Amino acid sequence: MSTEEDTKWLQWVTHQFETIAGEDREIDLQEFKAALNVKESFFAERFFTLFDSDGSGTITLQELLEALTLLIHGNPMDKLKFLFQVYDVDGSGSIDVDELRTVLQSCMRESAISLPDEKLDQLTLALFESADKDCNGAITFDELRDELQRFPGVMENLTISAAHWLTPPAAQPRRRRPRLLTSAYWHNHRSHLLCLTAYTVLHVLLFALAASAHRARGPSAMVAKGCGQCLNFDCSFITVLMLRRCLTWLRATWLAQVLPLDRNIQFHQLMGYVVVVLSLVHTVAHVVNFALQAQSEDSPFRFWELLLTTRPGIGWVYGSASPTGVALLLLLVLMFACSSSCIRRSGHFEVFYWTHLSYFPMWILLILHGPNFWKWLLVPGILFFLEKIIGLAISHMGAFCIVEVNLLPSKVTHLLIERPPLFHYRPGDYLYLNVPSIARYEWHPFTISSAPEQKDTIWLHVRSEGQWTNRLYESFKMLCPMDCGSGQLSKSLKRRRSQRRPQSLPSQPMHSGTSAQGAVAFSRDVTVELTSYRPKGTPQQGDQGVVGTGTEEGAPAQRGAPAHLGPVSEMSSENHLLCNIKCYISGPYGTPTRRIFASEHAVLIGAGIGITPFASILQSIMYRHQKRKHICPSCQHSWMDSIQDEDMKLRKVDFIWINRDQRSFEWFVSLLTKLEMDQAEMTQEDPFLELHMYMTSALGKNDMKAIGLQMALDLLAKKEKKDSITGLQTRTQPGRPDWNKVFQKVAAEKKGKVQVFFCGSPALAKVLKGHCEQFSFKFFQENF
d(CA 459, CA 541): 25
Lowest mean pLDDT segment, chosen from 56-65, 268-277, 690-699: 56-65
In terms of average pLDDT, the best of 161-165, 503-507, 751-755 is 751-755
**pLDDT of 408 above 70:** yes
Q: Taking residues 613-635, what's their average pLDDT?
A: 75
13-44 pLDDT, tens digit per residue, is 777 777 777 777 788 888 777 776 666 678 77
**pLDDT of 470 above 70:** yes
What pLDDT score does 729 carry? 86
N- to C-terminal Cα separation, the chain: 43
Strands 754-759 and 601-607: parallel
β-sheet bridge partners, residue 460? 415, 448
What pLDDT score does 521 carry? 45
What pLDDT score does 282 carry? 92
693-712 pLDDT, tens digit per residue, is 999 888 877 777 788 888 88
Q: 3-state secondary structure string, 627-643? A: HHEEECCCCCCEEECCC
Q: What is the pTM of this model?
A: 0.70
Strands 689-695 and 732-734: parallel
**pLDDT of 570 above 70:** no
What pLDDT score does 206 carry? 93
d(CA 384, CA 376): 13
Give Cα 380 to chain centroid, integer Å.
Answer: 35
Q: Which of 51, 55, 56, 11 is nearest to 35 (CA)?
A: 51
What pLDDT score does 207 carry? 93
DSSP letter string over 452-476? Answer: TT--SEEEEEEE--SHHHHHHHHHH
**pLDDT of 637 above 80:** no
Residues 6 or more apart whose CB falls under 8 angstroms from that of 711 comprise: 127, 147, 148, 151, 701
125-142 pLDDT, tens digit per residue, is 988 888 888 888 888 888
Query: Exposure of 173 by Cβ count < 10 A (0-12 exposed, 13-18 middle, 19+ buried)?
Result: exposed
Q: Taking residues 270-275, what's their average pLDDT?
A: 92
3-state secondary structure of 602: strand
Q: Which of 515, 414, 570 is nearest to 728 (CA)?
A: 515
Lowest mean pLDDT segment, chosen from 157-166, 535-544, 724-733: 535-544
Q: Report H helices in 527-589.
A: none
**pLDDT of 554 above 60:** no
Residue, of 542 and 100, whose pLDDT is higher: 100
Of the pLDDT bands very low, low, confident and very high (cuts 50, 70, 90), residue 485 is very low
Taking phi over 0 as left and psi of -120 to 50 as alpha, with beta for the rest, 232 belongs to alpha
Of the pLDDT bands very low, low, confident and very high (cuts 50, 70, 90), residue 276 is very high
Taking phi over 0 as left and psi of -120 to 50 as alpha, with beta for the rest, 758 belongs to beta
Q: Taking residues 503-524, what's their average pLDDT?
A: 38
**pLDDT of 410 above 50:** yes
d(CA 408, CA 463): 9
What pLDDT score does 557 carry? 33
Lowest mean pLDDT segment, chosen from 534-538, 639-643, 661-665: 534-538
Percent of the chain having pLDDT more than 70? 76
d(CA 499, CA 506): 14
Q: Taking residues 403-432, what's their average pLDDT?
A: 85
pLDDT, mean over the chain? 76
Of the pLDDT bands very low, low, confident and very high (cuts 50, 70, 90), residue 592 is confident
Of the pLDDT bands very low, low, confident and very high (cuts 50, 70, 90), residue 199 is very high
Percent of the chain having pLDDT more than 90? 9
Residue, of 35 and 101, whose pLDDT is higher: 101
d(CA 599, CA 596): 5
**pLDDT of 281 above 90:** yes
Strands 412-418 and 732-734: unpaired
Length of the chain: 784
d(CA 471, CA 441): 14
Query: CA torsion 580→581→582→585, rounded to 10°?
Result: -100
User: DSSP state, 319?
Assistant: T
Residue, of 127 and 254, whose pLDDT is higher: 127
What pLDDT score does 113 carry? 86
β-sheet bridge partners, residue 780? 757
d(CA 105, CA 100): 9
* Whether 457 contacts 567, CB under 8 Å: yes
d(CA 241, CA 233): 13
* Whether 655 contacts 756, CB under 8 Å: no
d(CA 528, CA 531): 10
**pLDDT of 514 above 60:** no
Radius of gyration of the chain (CA): 33
Query: Exposure of 274 by Cβ count < 10 A (0-12 exposed, 13-18 middle, 19+ buried)?
Result: middle
Q: Taking residues 372-394, what's their average pLDDT?
A: 87
**pLDDT of 516 above 70:** no
What pLDDT score does 551 carry? 33
295-310 pLDDT, tens digit per residue, is 776 777 777 777 777 7
d(CA 490, CA 285): 88
What pLDDT score does 646 carry? 55
What pLDDT score does 198 carry? 92
**pLDDT of 553 above 50:** no
What pLDDT score does 636 carry? 63
What pLDDT score does 652 carry? 85
Q: Taking residues 585-596, what's their average pLDDT?
A: 81
Q: Taking residues 689-696, what's their average pLDDT?
A: 89
In terms of average pLDDT, the best of 167-176, 343-352, 503-512, 700-709 is 700-709
**pLDDT of 474 above 70:** yes
**pLDDT of 164 above 70:** no
**pLDDT of 667 above 80:** no
Q: What single letter denotes the amino acid at residue 459?
A: W
d(CA 624, CA 618): 10
Q: Which of 700, 701, 699, 707 is nearest to 87 (CA)?
A: 707
724-762 pLDDT, tens digit per residue, is 888 888 888 888 898 999 999 998 888 888 889 998 888
d(CA 619, CA 612): 11
Residue, of 535 and 653, whose pLDDT is higher: 653
d(CA 435, CA 447): 16
DSSP letter string over 235-304? Answer: HHHTTGGG-HHHHHHHHTSGGGGTS-GGGHHHHHHHHHHHHHHHHHHHHHHHHHHHHHHHHSTT--S-HH
* Whether 658 contacts 669, CB under 8 Å: no
* Whether 25 contacts 60, CB under 8 Å: yes
d(CA 138, CA 117): 21
What pLDDT score does 181 carry? 56
Q: Which of 156, 152, 102, 157 is nearest to 127 (CA)?
A: 102
